[in-house]
Amino acid sequence: MSSIAMHMKLLTAMSVVYLSLATSAFAQEAPSVPEPAGGSPPDSIRFNTVAIGLEQNLNTFNWIGHAWIDTTVSGTIVRLNEQYISNTILLDGGASKSRNLQSDQQNLSLLLGRSLTKNLTSEIQWKSLVYSDNKSVGLGQAMFHSVLGGVNYAPSEFLFLNPLVGFRWDNQAGVRDKGISYTMAAQSQGVELDGYQLYGSGQLHEDRLSPRLLQRHFARAGVQRFFYGNTRDSLEAGYSRNRNEFYALADSNIESRVEDIFSFTNLLDYEFDAHFLTTLFVNVSNR
């Protein structure tokens, strides 16, 4: 009996407790604001969600919080995406908080937009990241805040342009940098040629944090065709370039890392009948 009781205590201590509080409501109908980076769901599935989760495993606690809001208030488009993750390891039964090991990360993205004309929408974006970690000997604290302003312009029903310019503040290992940021994004969709649907998207983004330079560029183009029912074939090719510069912990010299990624994707859906569909997905990438 003692071994069974001990086993039950161990299972209880290692059990996972997950609490989730979620509320969802369909957002108010708003003018469509295209996002070349693909950050917003279609109006038909827009909803607001708030969730809080707790996971416990022995003396380790994980908190996860997420909020997604996509709505319109007095003609102003509001899109909020926030995520908070916290990991805590209690030492000595949690008797001394100073000895606990903990890491926290908060990501926040806020977009405010207002329709100026049928094809033009003004836009302001705020993004921030706050990170702290006392569990490792590496980077213990880092944060950045950026604000960008610009417009979303649709010169035609097939093309959307999104130029933005602003400023970014960066703090890495106690070193503070700041500088101008700018983005030029574009998206094309809804183009049909001889039964083939063509689409594409691209972005040029730079953060000039003197003396560092950060880049996030990408370009994607694809084509797909529906044959009958849900049977379709699609091809997509893409290229992305990421440039990160950071301070070395040993001597605070700037180190640079550049990634060039080429990718090719093929998705084939074949419908045998109304109740049976097979999918073949192939992705090849070179980094």
Q: What is the pLDDT of residues 190-221, one digit of tens each?
A: 899 888 999 999 999 999 998 899 999 999 99
What pLDDT shows up at residue 98?
59
In this structure, of 29-38, 69-78, 220-229, 232-241, the range with the lowest mean pLDDT score is: 29-38
End-to-end Cα separation, the chain, in angstroms: 57
What does the DSSP assignment read for 126-162? EEEEEEEESSSSS--EEEEEEEEEEEEEEEETTEEEE
What pLDDT shows up at residue 142?
86
The residue extents of the domains of the chain are: 17-286
Which pLDDT band holds residue 250 (cuts at 50, 70, 90)? confident
C-alpha span between 151 and 162 (Å, rounded): 6
pLDDT one-digit tens code per residue, 101-149: 888 999 999 999 999 999 999 999 999 999 988 776 555 788 999 999 9
pLDDT one-digit tens code per residue, 167-197: 999 998 778 999 999 999 999 988 998 889 9
261 and 240 Cβ atoms separated by less than 8 Å = yes
What pLDDT shows up at residue 97?
60
What pLDDT shows up at residue 190?
82
pLDDT one-digit tens code per residue, 23-52: 333 333 333 333 444 344 444 445 799 999
Which pLDDT band holds residue 12 (cuts at 50, 70, 90)? very low
CA 105 to chain centre: 14
Percent share of the chain, pLDDT over 70: 80
Mean local confidence (pLDDT), 251-258: 86
What pLDDT shows up at residue 175?
86
3-state secondary structure of 70: strand
Statement: 17-286 belongs to CATH 2.60.40: no
223 and 233 Cβ atoms separated by less than 8 Å = no
